[in-house]
A and B are shown apart, each in its own frame.
Chain A
Amino acid sequence: MAWTRNVLRVDLTNGTCKREPLNMEWAQQYLGQRGLATKYFVSEVDPKVDPLSPANKLIMTTGPLTGTPASTGGRYSVVTKGALTGAIACSNSGGYFGAELKFAGWDMIIFEGRSPKPVYLWLENGKAELRDAGHLWGKTVWQTEEIIKKAHQDPQVRVSSIGRAGENGVLYACIVNDLHRAAGRSGVGTVMGSKNLKAVAVRGTLGTSSVRDPKAFMAAAAAGKKVLADNAVTGQGLPTYGTQVLMNVINEMGALPTRNHRDVQFEEARKISAEAMHEKRPTDGKSHLVTNAACFGCTIACGRISKIDETHFSVVNKPEYWGASGGLEYEAAWALGAANGVGDLEALQFANLICNEDGFDPISFGATVGAAMELYELGIIKQEQIGMEAPFGSAKALCELAQMTARGEGFGKELGLGSARMCAKYGRPELSMSVKKQEFPAYDSRGIQGMGLTYATSNRGACHLRSYTVASEVFGIPVKTDPLVTDGKADLVKAFQDATAVFDSAGICVFTSFAWTLADVQPQIAAACEGDWSMEKLNEVGERIWNMERQFNLAAGFTAKDDDLPPRLKTEPAKTGPAKGLVNGIDKMKPEYYKTRGWDANGVPTQDTLKRLGL
């Protein structure tokens, strides 16, 4: 069965922890993790709730394959109403925390209410208790992990926590586990902070013993691993170069958003690429990259572990940053780099370290800095307001602003609002490169048309991980489509959205989908879980999850108007590269997409669609 069938309900207001049985009927309809936790969430929470009020809930959840030898079977997700977006949020993280949660015997933890004082949840297998976190409040993620491990005298404890960003109300705060893996987007860490919940610490020694057919499962998992190993992207590209392998590729395509999307190619892309991370630095003769690293159960190992240049201005006399640490990954390198025109690799790594250390999303942060730099160059925000010169390309400003945002100081407070609120405040809302108030990731939708529809219709605001059509439009996975046209993209986006919802609900990493289709995942789920898990059913589960999320957002007040891109991408053509002269064709793709989805012209699922999906 692969589920532990145990749900922990934590009432933070009253300080109680209660076990309840998992709703197995829902598990059959929503599988686990993203799907199942969202089903719980939408069943219990008013869609109109203020994300930072005690009435919002926050769910930490594993999937049926979490804590199994299925490759990448270590994922967990956080489901809540996003602080940044006001939409349904589901942020997924790797590392080791998810598997540990499963090994302690839990499918899911539902946090409700608000604790009167800072607390952390301590889980030791079936034992659950809230403990005082007064001494942890004000501490970084890294300090929190260390203090908790010492307090429990157990280095094997796994910790998920918020840093100062989550305490200070940075609207895109993350929940960070294992030092540098994060449930990163939409401000799930901000919601956690609003509940006075500093951390969840877990030690699980029960293991996963409930796989339905262990022999069949081991065979299916082994077959899946072979597919990953034999694939050029997951077997060679990602382990060697990490996601950063994309930097030069996407730049060549003219789809690397640069200087707040003013440009689509960055002249210094090479300096912040995977290739640059491998090169020896002139200063110390060492390469930036130390090694690659895997999350729990992962046979790809795309993670980057790097050491910053000790002589770089950002860390001179700061030996606490000289050790090996996580980064750079592509999205962070882009957002901190190209998005604001900074080509200093070490500065990007420093800003990335600060994001990890104090728990905030480098995509939204970097993109918000990009917007601030544009406002600065337009003379709308003055030097005195920011406290420094902040033109595009300033590595010094980037590093300083990262620290100010972490600490909630000065202009860092405004950056902590995210680009949509900040740009609105200065009377230029159109300069926020976001959808549903969440900033774009690292693909310009003028050069990769399908990504425009992906962003516009993503249920958690602009995001690449809801339907990564880059796979098809750039790499030809599973089939090559032309990135410069809108034809066929509605169907493509729907197919990716539905399939991704299944990956996200199973306990595995969506990066496997560079090599795996659902047909590779299906035998693993079928061998692990009770019930019928045919391809037809999994496709339906994916579509059901997507529509369930959509309904929550509609009930929360979102309309078709919110499925749109900023005017820059619709009216300012790409200046260079293969997409030169193009804007994104969202207005053409959107109606096609609604139709493909079985939604009406206003983007509302029709009764027939809801009935077909059992919603």
Chain B
Amino acid sequence: MQKSLHINAAKCTGCLQCEMACSFEHHGVFNPAKSRIKVFNFEHEGRKVPYTCTQCAEAWCLNACPVDAIRVDAGTGAKVVNEATCVGCKVCTIACPFGTVNYVADTGKVQKCDLCGGDPACATACPTGAITYVDADWTGLDKMRAWADKTDTSSRASA
């Protein structure tokens, strides 16, 4: 079963545990500046929204890369940057419609979410369930359940 990150922004409190977990997993440092997932705070609306790569099936970044540095991980379906191959041309950052692949000046390469090889640190770290790792075919399951719960079945019971 392929899984994907599922983000429910309504549950996000803005604690940034996900950003610390991501940077620690990939860089060995607690550093939101190096995180591949970012939480955006829309202060005047009281909304906080975690955002990262959705792992497009036909990935713009992958198709744009001139040196084939972005490959599909067969196990997770993640589009993964091979740092050894990446030349830091940044074409993928232009191609990505969502801004979720980014250049890292320190290394001269790009970075993006790689689903941590199938055990995303951000989802593990999230204290509220705003970020979960679920069956890729059923990211809508929670919403369906919530709406199903609102369905009035009382008429059947009384019939």
Known: A208-B29, A291-B46. A69 touches B14 (CB 8 A): no
Chain A positions 256-296 with a Cβ under 8 Å from a chain B Cβ = 290-296
Across the interface, do A297 and B28 meet the contact criterion of CB distance under 8 Å? no
Across the interface, do A69 and B125 meet the contact criterion of CB distance under 8 Å? yes
Which of B30-38, B62-70, B86-94, B137-145 lines the interface with chain A?
B30-38
**Which residues on B sit within 8 Å (CB–CB) of A492?**
none
Asked if B45 lies at the interface with its beta carbon under 8 angstroms from chain A, I say yes
Asked if B5 lies at the interface with its beta carbon under 8 angstroms from chain A, I say no
Across the interface, do A204 and B33 meet the contact criterion of CB distance under 8 Å? yes
Asked if B48 lies at the interface with its beta carbon under 8 angstroms from chain A, I say yes
* Least Cβ–Cβ distance between A109 and chain B, in angstroms: 20
**Which residues on A sit within 8 Å (CB–CB) of B48?**
293
Across the interface, do B28 and A301 meet the contact criterion of CB distance under 8 Å? no
Of the residues B17, B31, B128, contact of A297 by C-beta under 8 Å: B17
Across the interface, do B43 and A179 meet the contact criterion of CB distance under 8 Å? yes
Across the interface, do B45 and A293 meet the contact criterion of CB distance under 8 Å? no
Measured CB to CB, the nearest residue on chain A to B20 is A69
Measured CB to CB, the nearest residue on chain B to A320 is B44
Q: CA separation between A294 and B20, bound complex, in Å?
A: 15
**Which residues on B sit within 8 Å (CB–CB) of A306?**
46
Task: Please name 18 further chain A to chain B contacts, defined as beta carbons within 8 Å, in addition to the given A204-B33, A214-B24, A324-B45, sorted by A numbering.
Answer: A69-B17, A69-B30, A71-B127, A99-B32, A156-B33, A206-B31, A207-B30, A207-B32, A218-B24, A239-B13, A294-B13, A294-B15, A295-B15, A297-B15, A299-B17, A323-B44, A324-B44, A325-B43
Chain A positions 494-530 with a Cβ under 8 Å from a chain B Cβ = none
Listed A/B pairs (13) with beta-carbon separation below 8 Å: A68-B20, A69-B21, A96-B16, A204-B33, A207-B29, A207-B30, A207-B32, A292-B13, A293-B13, A297-B15, A298-B13, A299-B127, A325-B43
**Which residues on B sit within 8 Å (CB–CB) of A294?**
13-15
Asked if A436 lies at the interface with its beta carbon under 8 angstroms from chain B, I say no
**Which residues on B sit within 8 Å (CB–CB) of A99?**
16, 32
Asked if A225 lies at the interface with its beta carbon under 8 angstroms from chain B, I say yes
Q: CA separation between A207 and B47, bound complex, in Å?
A: 25
Q: CA separation between A156 and B46, bound complex, in Å?
A: 17
Closest 7 CB pairs of A and B: A207-B31, A324-B46, A323-B44, A205-B33, A294-B13, A290-B46, A294-B15
**Which residues on A sit within 8 Å (CB–CB) of B16?**
96, 99, 296-297
Across the interface, do A297 and B20 meet the contact criterion of CB distance under 8 Å? yes
Asked if A164 lies at the interface with its beta carbon under 8 angstroms from chain B, I say no
Q: CA separation between A69 and B19, bound complex, in Å?
A: 10
Asked if B132 lies at the interface with its beta carbon under 8 angstroms from chain A, I say no
Asked if B23 lies at the interface with its beta carbon under 8 angstroms from chain A, I say yes
Asked if A103 lies at the interface with its beta carbon under 8 angstroms from chain B, I say yes
**Which residues on B sit within 8 Å (CB–CB) of A209?**
28-31
**Which residues on B sit within 8 Å (CB–CB) of A68?**
20, 30
**Which residues on A sit within 8 Å (CB–CB) of B14?**
293-294
Taking chain A's interface residues, is the majority helix, strand, or loop, or is none over half, making it mixed?
Answer: loop
Q: CA separation between A103 and B125, bound complex, in Å?
A: 20
Asked if A195 lies at the interface with its beta carbon under 8 angstroms from chain B, I say no
Measured CB to CB, the nearest residue on chain B to A211 is B30
**Which residues on B sit within 8 Å (CB–CB) of A179?**
43
Most buried by B among A218, A229, A293: A293
Residues of A within 8 A of B (CB): 67-69, 71, 96, 99, 103, 156, 179, 204-209, 211, 214, 218, 225, 229, 239, 290-299, 301, 303, 305-307, 323-325
* Least Cβ–Cβ distance between A415 and chain B, in angstroms: 29
Measured CB to CB, the nearest residue on chain B to A102 is B30
Across the interface, do A301 and B13 meet the contact criterion of CB distance under 8 Å? yes
* Least Cβ–Cβ distance between B21 and chain A, in angstroms: 7
Across the interface, do B33 and A103 meet the contact criterion of CB distance under 8 Å? yes
In the complex, per-residue mask of B110-154: 1 if CB is within 8 Å of any chain A CB, else 0: 000000000000000101100000000000000000000000000
**Which residues on A sit within 8 Å (CB–CB) of B128?**
301
Q: CA separation between A543 and B90, bound complex, in Å?
A: 55
**Which residues on A sit within 8 Å (CB–CB) of B127?**
71, 225, 229, 299
Across the interface, do B17 and A103 meet the contact criterion of CB distance under 8 Å? no
Q: CA separation between A323 and B44, bound complex, in Å?
A: 5
**Which residues on B sit within 8 Å (CB–CB) of A293?**
13-14, 46, 48
Residues of B within 8 A of A (CB): 13-17, 20-21, 23-24, 27-34, 43-48, 125, 127-128
Measured CB to CB, the nearest residue on chain B to A323 is B44
**Which residues on B sit within 8 Å (CB–CB) of A324?**
43-46
**Which residues on A sit within 8 Å (CB–CB) of B28?**
209, 214
Q: CA separation between A68 and B27, bound complex, in Å?
A: 14
Most buried by A among B21, B29, B127: B127
Across the interface, do A208 and B43 meet the contact criterion of CB distance under 8 Å? no
**Which residues on B sit within 8 Å (CB–CB) of A67?**
30
* Least Cβ–Cβ distance between B49 and chain A, in angstroms: 12
Measured CB to CB, the nearest residue on chain B to A291 is B46
Q: CA separation between A67 and B27, bound complex, in Å?
A: 15
Q: CA separation between A305 and B23, bound complex, in Å?
A: 28
* Least Cβ–Cβ distance between A104 and chain B, in angstroms: 10
**Which residues on A sit within 8 Å (CB–CB) of B44?**
323-325
Q: CA separation between A324 and B17, bound complex, in Å?
A: 23
Q: CA separation between A211 and B20, bound complex, in Å?
A: 13
Measured CB to CB, the nearest residue on chain A to B34 is A207
Q: CA separation between A608 and B128, bound complex, in Å?
A: 49
* Least Cβ–Cβ distance between A301 and chain B, in angstroms: 4
* Least Cβ–Cβ distance between A436 and chain B, in angstroms: 35
Measured CB to CB, the nearest residue on chain A to B30 is A208
Q: CA separation between A99 and B23, bound complex, in Å?
A: 15
Q: CA separation between A156 and B40, bound complex, in Å?
A: 10
**Which residues on A sit within 8 Å (CB–CB) of B23?**
207
Measured CB to CB, the nearest residue on chain B to A125 is B33
**Which residues on A sit within 8 Å (CB–CB) of B45?**
290, 323-324
**Which residues on A sit within 8 Å (CB–CB) of B125?**
69
* Least Cβ–Cβ distance between A329 and chain B, in angstroms: 15
Known: A295-B15, A297-B16, A297-B20. A307 touches B46 (CB 8 A): yes
**Which residues on A sit within 8 Å (CB–CB) of B29?**
207-209
**Which residues on A sit within 8 Å (CB–CB) of B34?**
205, 207
Measured CB to CB, the nearest residue on chain A to B48 is A293
Q: CA separation between A299 and B12, bound complex, in Å?
A: 11
Most buried by A among B15, B23, B125, B128: B15
* Least Cβ–Cβ distance between B47 and chain A, in angstroms: 8
Across the interface, do A207 and B15 meet the contact criterion of CB distance under 8 Å? no
**Which residues on A sit within 8 Å (CB–CB) of B13?**
239, 292-294, 298, 301, 303
Across the interface, do B15 and A305 meet the contact criterion of CB distance under 8 Å? no
* Least Cβ–Cβ distance between B107 and chain A, in angstroms: 13
Q: CA separation between A388 and B20, bound complex, in Å?
A: 52
Across the interface, do A299 and B15 meet the contact criterion of CB distance under 8 Å? yes
Q: CA separation between A208 and B43, bound complex, in Å?
A: 26
**Which residues on B sit within 8 Å (CB–CB) of A208?**
29-31
Measured CB to CB, the nearest residue on chain A to B27 is A207
Q: CA separation between A292 and B16, bound complex, in Å?
A: 15
Measured CB to CB, the nearest residue on chain B to A145 is B43
